[in-house]
Chain A
Amino acid sequence: MNLQLNVDRQTLHLTAADSGEVDRDPSETAEWTQALEGLIEHVGEERARFVLNALMERAQARRLKLPLLVQTPYVNTIRRSEEPPFPGDAEMEKRIRRIIRWNAAAMVLRANHRDPGIGGHLATYASAATLYEVGFNHFFRAKNEGRAGDHIFFQGHSSPGIYARAFLEGRLTQEHLENFRHEAGGKGLSSYPHPRLMPDFWEFPTVSMGLSPLAAIYQARFNRYMRDRGVKETDDSRVWAFVGDGECDEPEALGALSIAARERLDNLIFVVNCNLQRLDGPVRGNGKIIQELETVFRGSGWNVIKVIWGGAWDPLLEADAGGLLVRRMNEAVDGDYQKYSVEPGSYTRQHFFGKYPELL
């Protein structure tokens, strides 16, 4: 039976179990899997990868129809054992995030108290604070003498958090924050990133959904053009694009991915904030947006790093020798995960873990 034809349309998941094929000779299957396990165990991952690649090449030469290997299980790409030590002061950074979280929310609340209906968004930055703060404390390079600096496309709706950080840094005053979305007097902060309105602060307008991922790809390529033509050295400069998962529904957002891969733009990093929600409801209630995006990015030739589970899950995953927990993670859809995020732990215990009594 052709595996590709049995791809689960909702999750595009590609395990043999999901394919609907019946294992006609389990002991033979076990021999093959044990051989692989032995190879990994005794000779190492690198050799195992080499042998598997060789087998796949042979299978393709024999015209065996193999599944598209563009999707991995619903777990973190980087294993705990591969994580580098964290160089920062985690407690200090937590305090910084908390202060910024508070001021970002206060800015929106105060603006709406003063002027009901002026609008603003609390939830986007609240979901993305860690994504930004790790960047601010450890990665985002500024332009200064002799350094090209990074080009950062901040997600438009997260602007309150970016202002709140600049406030803590002393770059914006309380008066600025009081005038969030009150710009007519000339001292306000713009609703979203607008260089036209804040020419000393924002570099890139990003709030029209889908345009900033497109712009970021071409920015990264243009930086290479500058280097290759000898106009400017840009090798130590990176382009960061903070993108929403719902935003990826815009054709512009994903339409130029193949160009970035073709041009080998390793100076480009997309950070897709997969909070699973768009304005009206779930991005993919019946499927999994992270899995879908993984296939699109990997299929286009991108390096994909999934960051799905926090550290508290690591011991559970490491104890999951039979792979049942990963199986359950693969099965549940985003609509389920959203529900787990709002319900008490007892709900998750019953509905997520409880599906398989062995997980309880």
Chain B
Amino acid sequence: MEHLTDDQIRGLRRGGHDVRKMYAAYQAAVENRGAPTAILAKTVKGWTLGEGAEGRNVAHQQKKLNYEQMVRFRDELRLPIPDERLEEAPFYLPPKNDPVYEYLHECRRRLGGYVPKRTVSAPVEEIPPLRNFGDLLVGSGENEFSTTRAFAKLLADLLKDEKFGRRVVPIIPDEARTFGLDALFKRFGIYSSVGQVYEPVDSKMLIMYREAKDGQVLEEGICEAGAMATFSAAGTSYATHGVTMIPLYIFYSMFGYQRTGDQVWAFGDARGKGFLLGATAGRTTLNGEGLQHQDGHSHLLFSAVPSCQSYDPAWAYELAVIIRDGLRRMYEEGEEIFYYITLYNENYLMPPMPDGVEQGILKGLYRMRPAPEMDGAPRARAQLLGSGTILREALRAQEILAEKYRIAADVWSATSYVLLRRDALAAERWNRLHPEEEPRVSYVVEQLGGTEGPIVATSDYMKAVPDQIARWLPDRFLPLGADGYGRSDSRQALRRHFEIDAEHVAAAVLHELSRRRQVKPSEVSSALRDLGLDPDAPDPGYA
């Protein structure tokens, strides 16, 4: 080293600051075939910023330079910025005729334009009308099935759609059989870049594990992070590729957000579009799997993502209406939003769609079954809100209240508390800022404000989910919900444990009526006994 001065030694740079070395590396990378390339480039943090920043442990937080540092920085970069202006750190552009401009623009011309740049050029889609989902609208007749089954049917219909079926992207992290989606494997194939080089063990079966180079299903293995990353690539394709792809990613509702929440947030940031389906939903509906699997809070987690529209439907027709409208909003209207929809695995009879409920389903609430007629006037009235499978408990409570207590209760399907809340907040904001105008009335107040009696909500999710609308229904609203760690038992036993079943709903209505002095406390006590409810049972929120 004798031939080098100290300054020359200091001038021995790291490779990442050498344009020729980096060019050689990039060139080798783009010429490489058969494997991805990682370039590991060694650099100095804060390079050229001078002493005090370059290579120092504090470099990352450095956001100020003093006058001497500015002088050195300017000299290092050899820019014609006068000393007296250094303290204000002025921006610098060379004069218009400087050859750097021609060079720089010519480089970009050769490469096709400027980056980064985001453009949305995907054409508007024609969405099939709701009647195309006819099977889900007419009810199940004598057949019981689940909303997960309804989704499988709907997904198959979308895949078969002549216009955009090809661009539907089903994404599943190794749970297709759990969700009853394994029939897609044979018909649409699982994507594999090499096709299928072996004979599958089930090749002679009706449903076989078929991999294909043009397979449509992305079966991602046990990897929610990978599935979410694929969902992101597909859901932003309308901008990054100028081609609309329609991803539907179905996962265990407990794991989807909880494992990959940061990616979900980034997806919203990226203006991603698509459908996330939280299957095996509900803390008591998925009943045997216990604490780590039974989801009673994903709706709360997704409620935090501003561009996410969350729904907790109970019936097949609700699901069809929601997905059809989602397709319309995202791919016809071009809204940069996405959907989270919970799907349950409990089988029951699906009713046909009543008339005039579509808007209510989409806005988050509609009266599904008015109180039954009874002989003479009812003692009192009440409103019961139910979501998902637990809507059926509200329907059963309606019967109990009518038959045993002569209380007339309307049952409402609450498909989305978060959307009701956003609408109410928007109305509230408008009123706050327009003091002299006619106040706006939120949808939830428009629907429930004029009704009579206490409002009791029940669902397979935490009480905080229905509580989102409580503020606009002062002194009328009582939520029941599955707060607390889940556990394994029968659905019936779990719904009793979490106090969300019909009997607890009925007792909660009586309690609320006693607060209003329409019912005596002693009558509530005897009802608790009659309904078989233990007042001293452990609080499930702490159990």
The answer to the question of B49 belonging to the interface, with a C-beta cut-off of 8 Å to chain A, is yes
Q: CA of A143 to CA of B108 in the docked complex: distance in angstroms?
A: 11
Which of B38, B262, B268, B270 interacts with A305 by CB under 8 Å? B38
The answer to the question of A333 belonging to the interface, with a C-beta cut-off of 8 Å to chain B, is no
The answer to the question of A32 belonging to the interface, with a C-beta cut-off of 8 Å to chain B, is no
Which of B12-20, B144-152, B324-332, B381-389 is the interface stretch?
Answer: B12-20
Which of A7-15, A21-29, A34-42, A229-237 is the interface stretch?
Answer: A229-237
Q: Tell me the A82-101 residues at the B interface (CB within 8 Å).
A: 82-84, 86-90, 92-96, 98-99, 101
CB distance from A255 to the nearest CB of B (A): 7
Q: Contact check, B166 vs A231: say whether CB atoms are below 8 A apart.
A: yes
**Residue of B20, B51, B245 with highest tally of chain A CB at under 10 A:** B20
CB distance from A97 to the nearest CB of B (A): 8
Which of B4, B38, B62, B107 interacts with A137 by CB under 8 Å? B107
Contacts of B239 in A (CB 8 A): 195, 203
Contacts of A304 in B (CB 8 A): 37-40
Which of B15, B60, B65, B103 interacts with A109 by CB under 8 Å? B65
- Known A-B contacts A89-B103, A214-B229, A281-B57; A208 and B266 likewise in contact (beta carbons under 8 Å): yes
Contacts of A259 in B (CB 8 A): 226
Q: Contact check, B243 vs A90: say whether CB atoms are below 8 A apart.
A: no
Q: Tell me the B57-109 residues at the A interface (CB within 8 Å).
A: 57, 59-65, 73-74, 77-79, 81, 88-94, 99-101, 103-105, 107-108
Which of A203, A310, A349 interacts with B13 by CB under 8 Å? A310
Category for how many chain A residues contact B: 35 or more
Which of A78, A126, A278 interacts with B28 by CB under 8 Å? A78
Q: Contact check, A96 vs B104: say whether CB atoms are below 8 A apart.
A: yes
Q: Contact check, A86 vs B44: say whether CB atoms are below 8 A apart.
A: no
Q: CA of A195 to CA of B265 in the docked complex: distance in angstroms?
A: 12
Interchain Cβ contacts within 8 Å, total number: 452
Q: Contact check, A303 vs B43: say whether CB atoms are below 8 A apart.
A: no
The answer to the question of A247 belonging to the interface, with a C-beta cut-off of 8 Å to chain B, is no
Q: Contact check, A126 vs B270: say whether CB atoms are below 8 A apart.
A: no
Q: CA of A348 to CA of B12 in the docked complex: distance in angstroms?
A: 10
Contacts of B232 in A (CB 8 A): 215, 218-219
Q: Mark A111-155, 1 if CB is under 8 A from B, else 0.
A: 011000001111110111111011111111111100111111010
- Known A-B contacts A86-B20, A310-B21; A109 and B118 likewise in contact (beta carbons under 8 Å): no
CB distance from B112 to the nearest CB of A (A): 4
The answer to the question of A275 belonging to the interface, with a C-beta cut-off of 8 Å to chain B, is yes
Q: Contact check, B24 vs A84: say whether CB atoms are below 8 A apart.
A: yes
Which of A255, A256, A279, A316 interacts with B60 by CB under 8 Å? A279
Contacts of A297 in B (CB 8 A): 38, 40
CB distance from B58 to the nearest CB of A (A): 9
Contacts of A230 in B (CB 8 A): 214
- Known A-B contacts A93-B19, A218-B232, A261-B35; A98 and B59 likewise in contact (beta carbons under 8 Å): no
Q: Contact check, A142 vs B60: say whether CB atoms are below 8 A apart.
A: no
Which of B47, B114, B167, B225 interacts with A129 by CB under 8 Å? B47
Q: Contact check, A269 vs B29: say whether CB atoms are below 8 A apart.
A: yes
CB distance from B427 to the nearest CB of A (A): 24
Q: Tell me the A155-175 residues at the B interface (CB within 8 Å).
A: 157, 162, 166-169, 171, 174
- Known A-B contacts A127-B45, A204-B270, A290-B42; A346 and B37 likewise in contact (beta carbons under 8 Å): no
CB distance from A307 to the nearest CB of B (A): 4
Q: Mark A200-214, 1 if CB is under 8 A from B, else 0.
A: 111111001001001
Q: CA of A201 to CA of B48 in the docked complex: distance in angstroms?
A: 28
Q: CA of A163 to CA of B519 in the docked complex: distance in angstroms?
A: 68
CB distance from A242 to the nearest CB of B (A): 10
Which of A46-54, A55-63, A337-345 is the interface stretch?
Answer: A337-345
Q: Contact check, B193 vs A263: say whether CB atoms are below 8 A apart.
A: yes
CB distance from B4 to the nearest CB of A (A): 8
**Residue of A144, A154, A234, A341 with highest tally of chain B CB at under 10 A:** A341
Contacts of B10 in A (CB 8 A): 344-345, 348
Q: Contact check, B91 vs A131: say whether CB atoms are below 8 A apart.
A: no
Residue of A whose beta carbon sits closest to that of B111: A141
The answer to the question of A280 belonging to the interface, with a C-beta cut-off of 8 Å to chain B, is yes
- Known A-B contacts A83-B21, A113-B89, A202-B118; A211 and B42 likewise in contact (beta carbons under 8 Å): no
Which of A151, A269, A307, A349 interacts with B15 by CB under 8 Å? A307
The answer to the question of A189 belonging to the interface, with a C-beta cut-off of 8 Å to chain B, is no
- Known A-B contacts A147-B112, A275-B43, A342-B55; A261 and B271 likewise in contact (beta carbons under 8 Å): no
Q: Contact check, A110 vs B43: say whether CB atoms are below 8 A apart.
A: no
Contacts of B57 in A (CB 8 A): 277, 280-282
The answer to the question of B435 belonging to the interface, with a C-beta cut-off of 8 Å to chain A, is no
Contacts of B25 in A (CB 8 A): 77-78, 305, 307
CB distance from A229 to the nearest CB of B (A): 5
Contacts of A166 in B (CB 8 A): 114
The answer to the question of B177 belonging to the interface, with a C-beta cut-off of 8 Å to chain A, is no
Contacts of A137 in B (CB 8 A): 104, 107
Which of B13, B39, B213, B268 interacts with A270 by CB under 8 Å? B39
CB distance from B64 to the nearest CB of A (A): 6
The answer to the question of A326 belonging to the interface, with a C-beta cut-off of 8 Å to chain B, is no
The answer to the question of B46 belonging to the interface, with a C-beta cut-off of 8 Å to chain A, is yes
**Residue of B2, B29, B45, B107 with highest tally of chain A CB at under 10 A:** B45
Q: Contact check, A127 vs B60: say whether CB atoms are below 8 A apart.
A: no
Q: CA of A263 to CA of B419 in the docked complex: distance in angstroms?
A: 41
Contacts of A225 in B (CB 8 A): 191, 218
Q: CA of A312 to CA of B223 in the docked complex: distance in angstroms?
A: 46
Q: Contact check, B93 vs A168: say whether CB atoms are below 8 A apart.
A: yes
Q: Contact check, B266 vs A205: say whether CB atoms are below 8 A apart.
A: yes
Q: Contact check, B118 vs A305: say whether CB atoms are below 8 A apart.
A: no
Q: Contact check, B60 vs A110: say whether CB atoms are below 8 A apart.
A: no
Q: Contact check, B108 vs A136: say whether CB atoms are below 8 A apart.
A: yes
Q: CA of A93 to CA of B104 in the docked complex: distance in angstroms?
A: 8
Contacts of B223 in A (CB 8 A): 256
CB distance from A206 to the nearest CB of B (A): 8
Which of A92, A133, A274 interacts with B41 by CB under 8 Å? A274
Q: CA of A171 to CA of B77 in the docked complex: distance in angstroms?
A: 23
Q: CA of A103 to CA of B93 in the docked complex: distance in angstroms?
A: 9
Contacts of B28 in A (CB 8 A): 78, 305
- Known A-B contacts A168-B93, A199-B118, A281-B57; A303 and B35 likewise in contact (beta carbons under 8 Å): yes
CB distance from B223 to the nearest CB of A (A): 8
The answer to the question of B54 belonging to the interface, with a C-beta cut-off of 8 Å to chain A, is yes
The answer to the question of B449 belonging to the interface, with a C-beta cut-off of 8 Å to chain A, is no
Residue of B whose beta carbon sits closest to that of A95: B100
Q: Contact check, B226 vs A256: say whether CB atoms are below 8 A apart.
A: yes
Contacts of B265 in A (CB 8 A): 208
**Residue of A127, A218, A316, A346 with highest tally of chain B CB at under 10 A:** A127
Q: Contact check, B114 vs A345: say whether CB atoms are below 8 A apart.
A: no
- 18 A-B pairs with CB atoms under 8 Å apart are A86-B20, A93-B19, A108-B63, A122-B63, A142-B114, A169-B104, A208-B262, A214-B226, A231-B166, A269-B37, A269-B38, A274-B42, A275-B43, A275-B45, A276-B42, A276-B45, A312-B8, A345-B7
Interface residues of B (CB under 8 A from A): 1-2, 4-30, 32-49, 51, 53-57, 59-65, 73-74, 77-79, 81, 88-94, 99-101, 103-105, 107-108, 111-120, 166-167, 191, 193, 213-214, 216, 218, 223, 225-226, 229-230, 232-234, 236-237, 239-243, 245, 262-263, 265-266, 268-271, 307
The 8 tightest CB contacts between A and B, nearest first, are A345-B6, A142-B113, A310-B13, A345-B9, A218-B229, A341-B55, A307-B15, A222-B233
A-B contact sample (4 more), CB < 8 A, given A134-B23, A297-B38: A102-B73, A162-B116, A214-B226, A275-B42
